[in-house]
Amino acid sequence: MTEDHKGPSLEDLEARLSAARSQHDRSIGKGSSKDGKNSAQGGFGFAMRIGTDLVAALIVGVGIGVLLDYWLDTKPWFLIVFFLLGAAAGFLNIFRLVRGYGLAAGYTKVDEDGDGPKGLKEDVERNGKRRG
Amino acid sequence: MASPLQQFEIHPIIPLNLGGVDVSFTNSALYMVITVVLCAAFVILGMRRGAVVPGRMQAAVEISYEFVANLLRDTVGNEGRSYFPFVFTLFMFVLLGNLLGMTPYSFTFTSHIIVTFALAAVIFIGVTILGFAKHGMHFFSFFVPPGTPLPMYPLLIPIEVISYLSRPISLSVRLFANMLAGHTLLKVIAGFIALLGAAGVLPFVFVVALTGLEILIAFLQAYVFAILTCLYINDALHLH
């Protein structure tokens, strides 16, 4: 019984060790980078984030609109404008999230060297490897 | 039968009134204190011996330490090291709060929007101050995506500002909604067990599975909270 367990667990340990080592080497080599944040969490967390990011921007937009209308006595106008801006901001959030431009507000600049967004490129490479 | 929402009720344990403001020590506050004490005990007791070959407790502490340290290094890089204490505290507080809420008869303080919003607001304000401290007025260039033509500024800047302001909302709502929905669902389905009699085995199995899922979500949400904090710090340090 115990010997049955020994073999696979040692192999498993070896595999995990080498995986951890290669990951460590990779991150040391890279320094500051943004890899591994999209792949690290499962689909559920990702889906949850898309929902809240869209709604949160709408809430902020509508909130600003209602407050401005309340102060300036211009009823529906600011609400309409900021509702649309909030919706746009929500979609912008999601666009960035899905394209891997970084998880939240603020653009992560496309690489200046001209080889495309970092996360995207690595994703493509990884997918290629998996297929091959 | 008790309402499924009864578990979220806040009741004062030590009523206290300071200058007309109700600052009672509530069950929510009690569980936060328990979380902080547990968190401190976990780390202090775990690292008491500081052995080269860690025991079980020490290994658990080291795993959580390295988990957050790796997270911070992967997202922010080496400059992120000085923010480790903040992110680690935040992660442990949210994680233990979520897990403590999973024990029967306990109270989940992360299921209250005001708690999660306060945490998110601290992060948001802190990160904004950090951005200003690092970049001064240059921080405002954060709201202008690079390569934007001038006529688009009046449209894009409000969108960017709204997108930036939506951060604390989405951060807090995500954690709060997950915990609230999960715990309510557990209670609702658990209510069916007694109602269905012998057929109650079915919802019982479901509740067992859901409890496992809830523990997973407790981890996941603490992780998401920590990783988003790291990303916001990264954004403030490097702009774009």
Q: What ipTM goes with this model?
A: 0.76
What is the tally of structural domains in chain A? Answer: 1
Q: Three-class SS of residue B53? A: coil
Q: Is residue B220 part of a domain?
A: yes
With a CB-CB cutoff of 8 Å, which residues 9-68 of chain B face chain A? none
| Mean pLDDT for chain B overall | 89
Confidence of residue A101 (pLDDT cuts 50, 70, 90): low
Write the DSSP string, chain A: -HHHHHHHHHHHHHHHHHHHHHHHHHHHHH-S--TTHHHHS-HHHHHHHHHHHHHHHHHHHHHHHHHHHHHHT-TTHHHHHHHHHHHHHHHHHHHHHHHTS-SSSSPPPPPTTSS--HHHHHHHHHHHHHH-
B220: which chain A residues are within 8 Å (Cβ-Cβ)? 41-42, 44-45
B231 near B238, Cβ under 8 Å? no
Write out the residue range of the structural domain in which residue B117 sits.
6-238
Q: Over 90: is that where the pLDDT of A7 sits?
A: no
C-alpha atoms less than 13 angstroms from C-alpha of A48 in its C-beta half-sphere: 21
Q: Over 80: is that where the pLDDT of B147 sits?
A: no
Question: What is the predicted pLDDT for the residue at A26?
Answer: 54
Decide: residue A27, CB within 10 A, 0-12 exposed, 13-18 middle, 19+ buried: middle
Closest residue of chain A to B176, computed from CA coordinates: A52
Question: What is the predicted pLDDT for the residue at A81?
Answer: 92
Confidence of residue A129 (pLDDT cuts 50, 70, 90): very low
Answer whether A91 touches B (CB < 8 Å).
no
A49–B74 C-beta distance less than 8 A: no
What is the tally of structural domains in chain B? Answer: 1
Average of per-residue pLDDT across B208-222: 92
Bridge partners (DSSP) listed for residue B18: B21
Q: Is residue A76 part of a domain?
A: yes
Token match 């995990």: residue? A16
B79–A52 C-beta distance less than 8 A: no
Q: Is residue A29 part of a domain?
A: no
Confidence of residue A24 (pLDDT cuts 50, 70, 90): low
Question: What is the predicted pLDDT for the residue at B196?
Answer: 85
Q: Is residue B1 part of a domain?
A: no
| Joined tokens for residue B234 | 């990264």
Confidence of residue B198 (pLDDT cuts 50, 70, 90): confident
Q: Is residue A72 part of a domain?
A: yes
A42 near A28, Cβ under 8 Å? no
Q: Over 80: is that where the pLDDT of B115 sits?
A: yes
Give the helix/strand (H/E) hosting B170. Answer: helix B153-196
Question: What is the predicted pLDDT for the residue at A79?
Answer: 92
Nearest Cα to B32, choosing from B86, B94, B91?
Answer: B94
B77–A32 C-beta distance less than 8 A: yes
A41–B223 C-beta distance less than 8 A: yes
A55–B74 C-beta distance less than 8 A: no
Closest residue of chain A to B79, computed from CA coordinates: A32
Question: What is the predicted pLDDT for the residue at A84?
Answer: 93
In this prediction, what percent of chain A has a pLDDT beyond 90?
Answer: 22
B173–A52 C-beta distance less than 8 A: yes
Confidence of residue A74 (pLDDT cuts 50, 70, 90): confident
Average of per-residue pLDDT across B167-176: 91
Q: Is residue B97 part of a domain?
A: yes
Write out the residue range of the structural domain in which residue A110 sits.
50-126
